[in-house]
Amino acid sequence: MCGILAVLGCSDDSQAKRVRVLELSRRLKHRGPDWSGLYQHGDCYLAHQRLAIIDPASGDQPLFNEDKSIVVTVNGEIYNHEYLRKRLPNHTFRTGSDCDVIAHLYEEYGENFVDMLDGMFSFVLLDTRDNSFIVARDAIGITSLYIGWGLDGSIWISSELKGLNDDCEHFECFPPGHLYSSKLGGLKQWYNPLWFSEAIPSTPYDPLVLRRAFENAVIKRLMTDVPFGVLLSGGLDSSLVASITARHLAGTKAAKQWGTQLHSFCVGLEGSPDLKAAKEVSDYLGTVHHEFHFTVQDGIDAIEEVIYHIETYDVTTIRASTPMFLMARKIKSLGVKMVISGEGSDEIFGGYLYFHKAPNKEEFHQETCRKIKALHQYDCLRANKSTSAWGLEARVPFLDKEFINVAMAIDPESKMIKKGEGRIEKWVLRKAFDDEERPYLPKHILYRQKEQFSDGVGYSWIDGLKAHAAQHVTNKMMFNAERIYPHNTPNTKEAYYYRMIFERFFPQNSARLSVPGGASIACSTAKAVEWDATWSTNLDPSGRAALGVHDSAYDNQVPSASNSIPAIIGNVPLKMEVSTPGVAIQS
């Protein structure tokens, strides 16, 4: 990932303003440690902190069209850039960067070109011919982006809050799938697929179509000129990503540069479920496996830095971001600059365990739609900022635009969990890769049930966080919580502890409003409670107390330390960690 910062129409073209923009841009240097760039045109400034993945030698930004009348600063990857270059035969490209196509596409097609881009991206484009500009963010919000407004009428754009919070009167999250046009004077939605309306699809489930779509999504993300690997927790999603990557690596440009043996990475407390499962998958696939250990104290010591980087006080996001943040630092120390990860699958396929209680296919589908639309506030934010903190890029094939279109067109009746028919969560995905002739994964991995990332790294992790928070937040503090934090009032000591840290870094009202909660959390939680009222009393967002999901599939032995439930599906022993209604964490 890179870091972008733009100040547009600030009525100040002084050297002092330029120095200030440079100072703010340097706050994003962790996202792009390879090079810095700044372009100024009158009272407009476009700054860039580069993480070089494609064309490291010549792809420095900002980028221009032929006569430099159009300038663009971009964070992200355009996977179909070679195809787009062929559609621009009359244009001359200065670099081999995948982002170089953006200025030329605008020159050729105007503001309506954004939907032509296949990738993850945030960008600011300035047309110096009339001083107009556009800002755009990718369909799902894989890349982070914020917009702010100054008292002088200026518009500010930044990859992270920390680029805006001291200089803007108001700032907020830039919505995914949207474009800001100075000519229109506001936002317009460029991404509006059929599933966005939440109408119930009817396409029959075809496992081979789904398989091909996901393989294509993974393969296109092997586009790189730098060393890379895969994040491997041993769960279904990351294991499928690793399996497909290992199969197709040999035929890529990256293999010629870095070798055909895939590197995989996992993090956890000593003896954690993820470490064991990931090692088994790695042995099966033949990857060069890197196992990173951390202690509860290591994680607690990193919490303040994690909150500063991920810019949220959401409890589940912080729990899962911390081990990912620690792992990203280790990965970068090995010289790796890009990893492929498994976020998004649970939202698309209804993988969270409260989906077992969905009463019908209509509500099942509508809840998956809502959860995909909220990903930019949770799992995408975690994956993007936890890795970018160390100059590491995370690519997420489950959120490929074409794959989502295929997966969300499937009749949701096929996605529903029906224990009587042996269909556990994400059955359609598992079935698509259940190849007897050339197995992608061993059966017990393919049908392994979900571990939350925050629990999969070690069951004592969450307990340790709660104990630490209890030492720093008193009952009296909790009694007055609503008066101290009237917006998104924390309801546990752990939540209060994170909120105190967040407010110290980001005390502005705009910052606290940028974090989801209140109505957005209540809406999602209400849906789960509507399906099963017993979840209404559970305050822990991990849903560890929300037992009773498909009871007949499980044994009555519940280990007290983790609330994990031994299970049997067919003849395959499995382990399940009960997930949360509302916002849960990708395994």
Provide the pLDDT for residue 251. 78
Q: Per the domain annotation, does 585 fall within a domain?
A: no
**CA neighbor of 546 nearest in space, from 353, 368, 346:** 353
pTM attached to this predicted model: 0.91
The alpha carbon of 479 is separated from its chain's Cα centroid by a whole number of angstroms, namely 34
In the chain the first and final C-alpha atoms are separated, in Å, by 22
DSSP string across 327-342:
HHHHHHHTT--EEE--
> Which position among 2, 10, 44, 173 bears the catalytic label?
2
Provide the pLDDT for residue 46. 97
2: annotated active-site residue = yes
CATH code assigned at 24: 3.60.20.10
- Give the domain-ending residue among 138, 163, 192: 192
**CA neighbor of 464 nearest in space, from 245, 300, 257:** 300
Q: What is the pLDDT of residues 61-88, one digit of tens each?
A: 999 999 999 999 999 999 999 999 999 9
Say whether 341 counts as a known binding-site residue. Answer: yes
Q: Please indicate, yes or no, whether residues 186 and 251 belong to a single structural domain of this protein.
A: no
Beta-bridge mates of residue 266: 291
- Give the domain-ending residue among 192, 210, 238: 192
Q: Per the domain annotation, does 583 fall within a domain?
A: no
Q: Please indicate, yes or no, whether residues 187 and 268 belong to a single structural domain of this protein.
A: no
SS3 sequence of 212-241: HHHHHHHHHCCCCCCCEEEECCCCHHHHHH
Q: Please indicate, yes or no, whether residues 398 and 483 belong to a single structural domain of this protein.
A: yes
Residue identified by tokens 């064991």 is: 276
Q: Please indicate, yes or no, whether residues 122 and 232 belong to a single structural domain of this protein.
A: no
Provide the pLDDT for residue 522. 47
Provide the pLDDT for residue 541. 67
Q: Per the domain annotation, does 587 fall within a domain?
A: no
Q: Please indicate, yes or no, whether residues 295 and 172 belong to a single structural domain of this protein.
A: no
Q: Please indicate, yes or no, whether residues 177 and 252 belong to a single structural domain of this protein.
A: no
Say whether 231 counts as a known binding-site residue. Answer: yes
- Give the domain-ending residue among 192, 215, 248: 192
Say whether 42 counts as a known binding-site residue. Answer: no
Q: Please indicate, yes or no, whether residues 212 and 150 belong to a single structural domain of this protein.
A: no
Q: Per the domain annotation, does 584 fall within a domain?
A: no
Q: Please indicate, yes or no, whether residues 296 and 401 belong to a single structural domain of this protein.
A: yes
Strand order in the sheet with 35-41: 35-41, 44-50, 3-8, 155-158, 146-149, 170-173
Q: Tell me which residue range forms the domain holding 157.
A: 3-192
Q: How many domains does the chain have?
A: 2
Residues of the chain with pLDDT under 70: 450-455, 518-526, 535-587
Provide the pLDDT for residue 459. 80
Q: Please indicate, yes or no, whether residues 267 and 216 belong to a single structural domain of this protein.
A: yes
Say whether 267 counts as a known binding-site residue. Answer: yes
Q: Please indicate, yes or no, whether residues 424 and 472 belong to a single structural domain of this protein.
A: yes
Provide the pLDDT for residue 580. 31
CATH code assigned at 527: 3.40.50.620
Provide the pLDDT for residue 260. 82
